A and B are shown apart, each in its own frame.
Chain A
């Protein structure tokens, strides 16, 4: 058999065994047995010298061609085998995607904190700054300076925890509302304009039920200047309601009574659960009460250091727990201060 014939034989042999190879190891073996330095082609090529000189160039070309063919066949086969090996690995490493992920440990903010932040944020955009004032107050600040003298029937509106103080000393109490903050804020600013909100805890001497807590948060707001009207109060509270409950939220302003505002108003928003048709949550009225407000009473303006003939302003108050309860459908306020993580972890 001539060298060329032998070469053709090797080529045919190599190409016919290649498709049966399926592992990287066998492929390496194939490569060394045909294309390696000690491989069949290399061995045969050593016999080229035995050919007559005129046949050598053609035979050399033939050798290169076969090498080329086998190398490209090898590379093709390599791709096939690698991809099969990768697919095998993928199959081996596949997971059940429905198994739960690794738990991350993330803490949550108290739902009241969330709502307080929303309220802070909305009023900040309207130019109200956040202020704070004491939770333990004097009777004077909590009541007297807010136009609620002793023995006034309006005192029934606030059941009060008093601090045990020596007889004859000034009465000290747990603030029943954030409204004493109005006086603090006005006195710090008068006669310059003031525009602040005052969030914080309040306390009421009240049996704890699903609807009433002895401790709760309130956010007070006050704006006093030389050109502030009841219409501004409406605009501000409507702006707040629309940002909290979405634009186009229907509102209703009802005359009300607070000793420290005149005129006084109660703001209702359309019940977002029944869209005003009436349901259990809105006690079948179609409306939810969200804020009490009014124009600061002339006596209170005076107590805050302003001249009611020149200055005017409005004040409002709202309860974040109530807003939170409505927002999340919570039917029992007692969970708020329980520290029970089965409750706390239900919120973002």
Chain B
């Protein structure tokens, strides 16, 4: 909402400088977006009061040496006359007419004035300097709107209205400050000059002056000429109508155009401008019909019939149904109530008589219609937030007065006033106890009344600490004691209320173990050298299909009804597609990526309207294992075992027992370099994720370079459920002994099988098993593999004797061979 202070001052004395007023408004809930200053002292381009003046153009003559220039004789004060060279095309028509019978008003700038350069793009300041132009001295100018910073207009010089006072500094005539306010939905009352004036009056201790238009009506009462019937009584609480006859359509007066422009509306003609002016002044959107196009002068407010059509002022034809509210005559629809007028009864050049509607509408129907028809107007904005029904009388008086004054119309006596609902009277009982309970500060009953009264609340003492607060008709937003508490706090000043530590009972404290473990998982993975990414939960099936082409046709996705773009149309079922897209950027930019993400995926459920949102962890690794450096310029690249290392680290640190790995056949992993992660969950063996190297086909679909891309995605929710607290293991004081065993077996025998067997036969003395070498090749023969284990043995209560050690060793060798067929390498 744009508030020109020059206009606001009609209704309230503005006692604070503009910037202080803006700060005061912001602190009171009217957030000021901008303070725009035009021509005034602290604006971007101040109009010097001694150099930039309102002037009279007395005569226009041809420049002696240039066809496209003229000389204007200008008067800028009693006896102050100056000749100005100008090329303004809008003066050509006055050339050679001699002394003008009807002098033109314009803006005169003397040498030394600082203005914007009209001939260059944007706002470039120049100081006016005298110089001869084609032999005639030019040391002053007539200004265009662009040169003054009023608009971008530079086609000709600015022409002011005839009553502009010659010799007056322009800043006194047109200088202004506009405060632009971001009006929140509950502040409908401030969507007008009067409404804003009320608020400012309350905040600064001033009083409001409402306009008091005087109208001289004539002829028979309108109630005998016209009629209004409200059929849709629930949707139209009040409808008023007046009539003005024999209007003349012409431009509205300069001051009105100026105010509308400063407030952000475009002047059209006197009728439209008056309608808009009153809406901005009083907050009451209204409508003017060409009265001769209203059949039988009978207005009917009703819902539309299905199949009915209406062409609105913007030329669009709307299909209507019974959810739409219309203002009609007895024959047809005239307008979409409160939203936009219809073409058939539009005020035009030929209009003689005007029927003026001022009404209020049920806000939600206006909102539904303006949304459905995509017709968001200044009117609908106000109606859907709530318009004061008791402001209609003044609005009608104002409208008819302005139509009489500026459209030369004759106002018909009286006003049609149909109320389908009783006047809204809201009285709220407010106790000081309630104010204290909500705000935390004790106010006396009379203090509360003093704070509320300036806002128009009428407070009547009810008992020693209770007020009956009558809510003014323009405060449709107030209906609870909580609303009144807000007003008390606002007037007292939010910053003046105390700040306290909650004294209320502290609720029972519980640890959110899952959340803590989720954060611990992040610490584990960053500790393993991975960077945490957060990618969009929204993706496309095409992106998912890069991982697995079957996804392209899949219907197990949550799909948006109104996506912003096809790339973000589906809720992800896997983190990997978006994470791989990020990885791609990193690999291309830096040749390496080490990312993980922890986040939700979204699985629709057939039996519920809301999806499951399981927590996942995903990893993508590619590129050199360590950064290249001067010590090692070609580090090894990461592969399957780097991803596995990260997973093992996670499993170990979360203390998840019984995790096993098996070859996987998931389609997006390269066969043979893919694994399932399995864990015992209760009695079942469940798969909690997959990892491995990205399948070359998938890699190609993602446009990734041909390097090994390690990926993993894990069901973190289940992992966190299985996480446990570490159990301390006593540390033996006796020395350990190590035994190295290289076992040869067919490659089909897994390392895990052999290790399991070693553990089984080692007994209590086993402290650790690790693999220190894996060999395939000629020395062990085709299809065979040697795995070398280092076994650490240690007893908790004694030093193991050589004899004991060799017995254990022999037992292991026998046992492993028995279980797996692996033989000791000699």
User: Do A and B form a real pair?
Assistant: yes
Residues of A within 8 A of B (CB): 99-100, 102-103, 105-110, 112-113, 117, 126-127, 129-132, 134-138, 149-154, 156-157, 161-165, 169-170, 172, 174, 189, 192-195, 201, 203, 205-208, 214-215, 223, 225-232, 234-236, 238-239, 252-257, 259, 262-266, 295, 297-298, 312, 336-342, 344-345
Other than A161-B563, A232-B440, give 18 A-B pairs with Cβ distance below 8 A.
A100-B629, A103-B626, A152-B185, A153-B385, A162-B560, A174-B560, A193-B507, A214-B538, A223-B502, A226-B505, A231-B441, A232-B500, A235-B502, A236-B501, A254-B494, A259-B185, A295-B438, A339-B581
Q: Please name all residues of chain B whose beta carbon is closer than 8 Å to the beta carbon of A162 when the two chains form the complex.
A: 560-562
B593 within 8 A of A: yes
B537 within 8 A of A: yes
Contact with A along B361-379 (1 / 0, CB 8 A): 0011101100100000000
Partner of A252, one of B27, B441, B578, B593: B27
Q: Across the interface, name the chain A residue whose C-beta is closest to B568.
A: A214
Residues of B within 8 A of A (CB): 26-29, 31, 184-187, 363-365, 367-368, 371, 381, 384-385, 436-441, 480, 482-483, 485-486, 489-490, 494-495, 497-510, 512, 515, 519, 522, 525-538, 558-564, 568, 571, 578-579, 581-583, 585-586, 589-590, 593-597, 599-600, 602, 609-611, 613, 625-627, 629-631
Chain A's nearest CB lies how many Å from the CB of B596? 8
The answer to whether A229 touches B440, judged by C-beta atoms less than 8 angstroms apart, is: yes
Q: Please name all residues of chain A whose beta carbon is closer than 8 Å to the beta carbon of B28 when the two chains form the complex.
A: 254-255
Q: Please name all residues of chain B whose beta carbon is closer than 8 Å to the beta carbon of A165 when the two chains form the complex.
A: 561, 609
Partner of A110, one of B27, B533, B602, B609: B533
Q: How far is the CA of A134 from the CA of B626 in the complex (A)?
A: 39
Chain B's nearest CB lies how many Å from the CB of A125? 11
23 A–B contact pairs at CB < 8 A? A99-B630, A107-B528, A138-B609, A152-B185, A163-B558, A170-B609, A172-B610, A174-B571, A227-B503, A229-B436, A231-B499, A234-B494, A234-B497, A235-B502, A236-B502, A255-B494, A262-B485, A265-B494, A298-B480, A336-B534, A341-B593, A341-B595, A344-B532
Q: Across the interface, name the chain A residue whose C-beta is closest to B501.
A: A235
The answer to whether B627 touches A132, judged by C-beta atoms less than 8 angstroms apart, is: no
Known: A102-B631, A129-B510. A107 touches B363 (CB 8 A): no
The answer to whether A229 touches B500, judged by C-beta atoms less than 8 angstroms apart, is: yes
The answer to whether B534 touches A207, judged by C-beta atoms less than 8 angstroms apart, is: no
Partner of B531, one of A161, A207, A297, A344: A344
Chain A's nearest CB lies how many Å from the CB of B762? 34
Chain B's nearest CB lies how many Å from the CB of A7? 55
What 4 pairs between A and B have smallest CB-CB spacing? A339-B582, A229-B440, A231-B440, A255-B29
The listed residue with most B CB atoms (<10 A of its CB), out of A131, A151, A226, is A151
The listed residue with most A CB atoms (<10 A of its CB), out of B486, B527, B611, B631, is B486
Partner of B533, one of A99, A201, A228, A339: A339
Q: How far is the CA of A345 from the CA of B595 in the complex (A)?
A: 11
Q: Across the interface, name the chain B residue whose C-beta is closest to A149.
A: B364
Q: Please name all residues of chain B whose beta carbon is closer than 8 Å to the beta carbon of A153 when the two chains form the complex.
A: 185, 363, 367, 381, 384-385
Q: Please name all residues of chain B whose beta carbon is closer than 8 Å to the beta carbon of A215 when the two chains form the complex.
A: 536-538
Q: Please name all residues of chain B whose beta carbon is closer than 8 Å to the beta carbon of A154 when the two chains form the complex.
A: 185-186
The answer to whether A108 touches B610, judged by C-beta atoms less than 8 angstroms apart, is: no
Q: Across the interface, name the chain B residue whose C-beta is closest to A264.
A: B486
Q: How far is the CA of A337 from the CA of B363 in the complex (A)?
A: 39
The answer to whether B368 touches A151, judged by C-beta atoms less than 8 angstroms apart, is: yes
The answer to whether B29 touches A201, judged by C-beta atoms less than 8 angstroms apart, is: no
Chain A's nearest CB lies how many Å from the CB of B630? 7
Q: How far is the CA of A254 from the CA of B363 in the complex (A)?
A: 27
Q: How far is the CA of A331 from the CA of B760 in the complex (A)?
A: 60
Known: A138-B610, A312-B438, A339-B582. A113 touches B564 (CB 8 A): no
Chain A's nearest CB lies how many Å from the CB of B589? 7
Q: Please name all residues of chain B whose beta carbon is closer than 8 Å to the beta carbon of A264 when the two chains form the complex.
A: 486
Q: Please name all residues of chain B whose beta carbon is closer than 8 Å to the beta carbon of A234 when the two chains form the complex.
A: 494, 497-500
Q: How far is the CA of A150 from the CA of B363 in the complex (A)?
A: 11
The answer to whether B506 touches A195, judged by C-beta atoms less than 8 angstroms apart, is: yes
The answer to whether A263 touches B489, judged by C-beta atoms less than 8 angstroms apart, is: yes
Q: How far is the CA of A339 from the CA of B439 in the complex (A)?
A: 45
Q: Please name all residues of chain A whose beta carbon is closer than 8 Å to the beta carbon of B509 when the two chains form the complex.
A: 127, 129
Q: Please name all residues of chain A whose beta carbon is closer than 8 Å to the beta carbon of B519 when the two chains form the complex.
A: 117
The listed residue with most A CB atoms (<10 A of its CB), out of B29, B497, B499, B502, is B502
Known: A100-B630, A109-B522, A127-B509. A157 touches B185 (CB 8 A): yes
Chain A's nearest CB lies how many Å from the CB of B380? 10
Q: Across the interface, name the chain B residue whose C-beta is closest to A228.
A: B504
The answer to whether A205 touches B499, judged by C-beta atoms less than 8 angstroms apart, is: no
Q: Across the interface, name the chain A residue whose C-beta is closest to B502.
A: A232
Known: A152-B364, A164-B561. A255 touches B515 (CB 8 A): no
Chain B's nearest CB lies how many Å from the CB of A145? 15
Q: How far is the CA of A150 from the CA of B631 in the complex (A)?
A: 66
Partner of B537, one of A135, A170, A192, A262: A135
The answer to whether B502 touches A107, judged by C-beta atoms less than 8 angstroms apart, is: no
Partner of B594, one of A107, A207, A340: A107
The answer to whether B534 touches A112, judged by C-beta atoms less than 8 angstroms apart, is: yes
